[in-house]
Amino acid sequence: MKDALAQFDCDGYVHIPAFLNSDLIHRYNARLAQVMQDCARAPVQHVAFSGAQALFRVNELLRYFGAHTLYILGMPALQRLTQSLCGGEAICTYESLLVRSAANASLVDWHRDMNHQQDGRIFTLGIYLDAALTEEDALQVLPGHHLSGSSISALTSMLAGKMITPLRLPTLPGDLLLHDVRLPHASPPVVSNRVRKTLYFEFRPLRLLQSANPQWLTQRRRLNDIAQSVHTRLHDKDESEWSLTQQETDWLEVLYQQRQRLEGAEYASNSGSQASLKKPPVKTGRIQSRPESATPPDR
């Protein structure tokens, strides 16, 4: 773990192969197939489509993949990893599923998830359900530039002039890739006949959230306990038993009713000539909808 922390602090990222096993990936993909069918019949506001109605992003992930996502968040290995990086209690502040394919032309330009300095590790954790290929859609990063004061505009100019060279990080299904929110990164589009699905979570140390909305923070802290409980209950259970209790479903409604203003990302188009690494821009919370039910509805 010390080596992982040292690499994270130096390079701004850590790659952990085979974090999820194939059975768990299969369970998540099976649930995704049902979610896509349901949303195609009755589109919902937290599931974004683009291109020829190609699924692009699922926000407020627990509404649609409650049992499966909570099981992952409750994995002891993930809890240990996030707590080590945060130096104590780690708070998951955001969760989503990104689906990239040629159908949705999902190029991700160079950006930072956050463009200001912080006194502690804030990181984005990606878990890959499909491979990301070196020659195609693998994440590109600029190692060490999470500590740089250069704007994304300046860095993209340097990339264009071949003054710096990005590093590609290919992954296999089940791999975990986490990066400092300040690390510049990008992903080329998927151009072949394949799909790349990635789970994304943002984590922050509890001590960096003391000024947050108290009701929001209470529910986000409770997320850790519920995730551990779900993992314990569902471990070694059949797929038919992978659902939430009514109490957990009711809690999801409370979780997503809470709001918290979070920082915006920095792209070349909005960064200006110099990045502001002291004062964060702000993005607002999301609108709520009904959560995933404890018993899947008949369609």
141 sits in which H/E element: strand 139-141
Q: How many other CB atoms are there within 10 angstroms of residue 168's CB atom?
A: 17
| Average pLDDT value for residue range 7-36 | 93
pLDDT attached to residue 289: 31
Confidence of residue 281 (pLDDT cuts 50, 70, 90): very low
* Tens-place pLDDT, residues 237-256: 998 899 999 999 999 999 99
DSSP 8-state code for residue 80: H
3-class SS at 220? Answer: helix
- pLDDT above 90: residue 164: yes
- The domains of the chain are located at 2-271
Does the pTM surpass 0.85? The reply is yes
Q: Which residues of 67-88 are buried (b: 16+ CB within 10 A; e: fewer)?
A: bbbbbbbbbeebbebbebbbee
Sheet containing strand 167-169, edge to edge, reads 167-169, 139-141, 185-187, 108-112, 266-267
pLDDT attached to residue 269: 65
* Tens-place pLDDT, residues 188-237: 988 888 889 999 999 999 999 999 999 999 999 999 999 999 999 999 99
Confidence of residue 263 (pLDDT cuts 50, 70, 90): confident
The domain 2-271 having CATH identifier 3.40.50.300: the answer here is: no
Distance separating alpha carbons of residues 21 and 153, to the nearest angstrom: 39
- pLDDT above 60: residue 135: yes
> Which residue did the predictor score with more confidence, 25 or 34?
25
pLDDT attached to residue 277: 36
Helical axes 2-11 vs 76-86, angle rounded to 10°: 50
* Tens-place pLDDT, residues 44-70: 778 887 766 677 889 999 999 999 999
| Average pLDDT value for residue range 175-191 | 94
> In terms of DSSP H, where are the helices of 171-296?
214-234, 246-257, 268-271
- pLDDT above 50: residue 99: yes
pLDDT attached to residue 294: 36
